[in-house]
């Protein structure tokens, strides 16, 4: 007996995969989610949900669930040598959600999973082959002695992050670049004295220090740690001590530095697929575009990929013979999402460059330039850029989802 043919198989139960599956399910599409991990990953990871993503998720009820647990960030400030040199106000850009919602990624995923089909966890997709009218997936379940089985679908969407990119290469092509910049990060459960509802970016000649609000008075700290792959060597105690020194030296806040007990290290890379669709195979989220987490736009790109793809894909699956507009709609989706990913990558590259160490003279010039820009119309443009207001899916995801 031949296996059932599903309308869509989504590979990956991260934010993008859950969002797409939920939106397709709400439209009556038969969709299955396959996830290699046995359990959802804990921890905070991506913390910022931007206004366009909040608008796109609102019809499903996910936004309400996210905001119930989130810290709201309506403004950000840039500081240097203990003084504020610039401010951006997210609450003045005319958005329905005039803030960034800061919440652990696990909360975002739970909010999305509430309306998505339950993921088939412990199922690793080991290969995808296109066949007439669809695709065949080779799937292996976890456990001893497990053997590959086949699953068929009319459409396959890979949303399994960077680890799932091998499933779509070389069919979709890739541009990739590794950066030498290294960062240290910690999440503090409490950070007394930090400005409520305010993201603080401290520019220093030794490198950037970022401080973002978390729910219930917590704070995420991120500091530039050096260039080169060996900077994260050593014990966790060594990393924590480096971060304490960075916080104290760059912010002048010894009390905040003393709250740092642990630290993790990470590097950054940029990976952009040349295509996001080839026939009946698509890629979204980090599988399609991986940008620096400095600026916090990666997860939101994936959410907007999913929210804008769902209505186009549902129409394509239900198209009548000769309905060429459904195909053109998918082509427009791909062009828009590739353009949005390139724009986010450029902004991430700018953020990375601004956060690097520089000479005292160059640092003074940078601070002066930022201060001048913040006093003019550039502040509004910056607020819109940093909340993804220029993403081509901004204002479309929510309307399409209704």
Mean pLDDT of 185-208: 96
pLDDT at 103: 96
Q: Report the greatest alpha carbon distance in the chain.
A: 74
Q: Residue 56: which residues within 8 A CB-CB, separation 6 or more? A: 303, 304, 307, 308, 393, 396, 397, 398, 401
The CA distance from 141 to 138, in Å, is 10
> pLDDT tens across 50-98, in order?
999 999 999 999 999 999 999 999 999 999 999 999 999 999 988 999 9
Q: Which residues contact 333 (CB under 8 A, 6 or more apart)?
A: 308, 309, 312
**What is the structure's pLDDT at 396?**
63
Residue-wise over 379-398: b if at least 16 C-beta within 10 A, else e?
Answer: beebbbbbbbbebbbbbbbb
> In this prediction, what percent of the chain has a pLDDT beyond 70?
95
Work out the percent of the chain whose per-residue pLDDT is above 90. 86
Q: Is 5-72+101-176+271-354+388-401 a domain of CATH 3.50.50.60?
A: yes
Crossing angle of helices 15-26 and 105-113, in 10° steps, is 20
pLDDT-derived band of residue 18, with 50, 70 and 90 as boundaries?
A: very high
Q: Which two tokens stand for residue 209?
A: 């220090």
Q: Is the pLDDT of residue 142 over 90?
A: no
User: Exposure of 104 by Cβ count < 10 A (0-12 exposed, 13-18 middle, 19+ buried)?
Assistant: buried
> Higher pLDDT residue, 144 or 298?
298
- What integer is the mean pLDDT of 228-238? 69
- Once rounded to an integer, what is the mean pLDDT over residues 206-211? 98
- What are the C-alpha distances in Å from 187 to residues 191, 224, 240, 335? 10, 15, 12, 37
Specify whether the CB–CB gap between 215 and 67 falls below 8 A: no
Structure tokens at 250: 């760059």
DSSP secondary structure string for all residues of 20-69: HHHHHHHTT--EEEEESSSS---S-SS-EE-HHHHHHHGGGTHHHHHHTT
- Name, of 232-236, 316-320, 392-396, the range with top average pLDDT: 316-320
pLDDT (tens digit per residue) in 263-314: 999 999 999 999 999 999 999 999 999 998 877 899 999 999 999 999 999 9
For residue 400, pLDDT beyond 90:
no
Does the bond joining 174 to the residue before it have cis omega, within 30 degrees of 0?
Answer: no
What's the pLDDT at 399? 44
What residue ranges do the domains of the chain occupy? Answer: 5-72+101-176+271-354+388-401
Residue 172's region, left for phi above 0, alpha for psi from -120 to 50, else beta, is alpha
Q: What is the pLDDT of residue 401?
A: 38
- Residue 277 — φ and ψ, nearest 5°? -150, 140
Q: Output the pLDDT for position 348.
A: 92
Could you report the per-residue pLDDT of 108-134, keeping only the tens digit for each? Answer: 999 999 999 999 999 999 999 999 999
- For 9, the 3-state DSSP assignment is strand
**Residue 303 tokens, joined:** 């959410």
Average pLDDT, the chain: 93
User: Residue 188 corresponds to which tokens in the numbers above?
Assistant: 């503090």
Q: Running DSSP on this structure, what letter comes out for residue 166?
A: G
**Residue length of the chain:** 402
Six-digit token string for 45:
């990871």
Q: What is the mean pLDDT of residues 25-39?
A: 96
């Amino acid at each position: 007996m031949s296996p059932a043919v599903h309308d869509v198989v989504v590979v990956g139960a991260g934010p993008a995969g859950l969002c797409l599956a939920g939106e397709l399910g709400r439209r009556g599409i038969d969709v299955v989610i396959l996830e290699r991990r046995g359990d959802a990953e804990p921890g905070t990871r991506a913390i910022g949900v931007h206004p366009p993503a909040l608008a796109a998720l609102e019809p499903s009820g996910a936004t309400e669930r996210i905001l119930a647990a989130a810290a709201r960030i309506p403004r950000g400030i840039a500081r240097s040598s203990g003084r504020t040199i610039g401010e951006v106000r997210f609450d003045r850009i005319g958005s329905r959600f005039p803030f960034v919602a800061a919440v652990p990624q696990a909360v975002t995923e739970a909010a999305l999973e509430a309306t998505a089909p339950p993921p088939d966890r412990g199922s690793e997709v080991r290969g995808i082959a296109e066949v007439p009218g669809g695709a065949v997936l080779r799937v292996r379940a976890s456990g001893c002695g497990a053997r590959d089985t086949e699953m068929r679908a009319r459409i396959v969407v890979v949303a399994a992050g960077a680890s799932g990119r091998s499933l779509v290469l070389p069919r979709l092509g890739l541009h990739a670049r590794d950066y030498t910049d290294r960062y240290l990060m910690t999440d503090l459960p409490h950070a007394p004295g930090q400005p409520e509802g305010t993201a603080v970016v401290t520019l220093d000649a030794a490198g950037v220090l970022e401080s973002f609000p978390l729910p219930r008075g917590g704070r995420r700290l991120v500091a530039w740690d050096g260039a080169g792959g060996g900077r994260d060597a050593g014990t966790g105690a060594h990393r924590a001590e480096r971060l304490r020194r960075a916080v104290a030296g760059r912010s002048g806040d010894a009390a905040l530095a003393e709250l740092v007990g642990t630290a993790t290290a990470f590097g950054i890379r940029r990976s952009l697929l040349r295509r996001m669709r080839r026939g009946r195979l698509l890629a979204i989220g980090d599988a399609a575009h991986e940008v620096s987490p400095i600026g916090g736009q990666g997860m939101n790109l994936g959410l907007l990929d999913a929210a804008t793809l769902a209505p186009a894909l549902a129409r394509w699956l239900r198209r009548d013979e000769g309905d060429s507009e459904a195909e053109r709609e998918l082509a427009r989706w791909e062009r828009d999402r590739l353009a949005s990913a390139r724009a986010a990558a450029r902004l991430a590259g700018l953020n990375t460059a601004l956060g690097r160490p520089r000479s005292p003279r160059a640092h003074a010039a940078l601070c002066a330039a930022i201060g001048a820009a913040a006093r003019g119309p550039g502040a509004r443009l910056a607020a819109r850029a940093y909340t993804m207001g220029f993403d081509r899916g901004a204002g479309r995801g929510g309307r399409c989802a209704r």
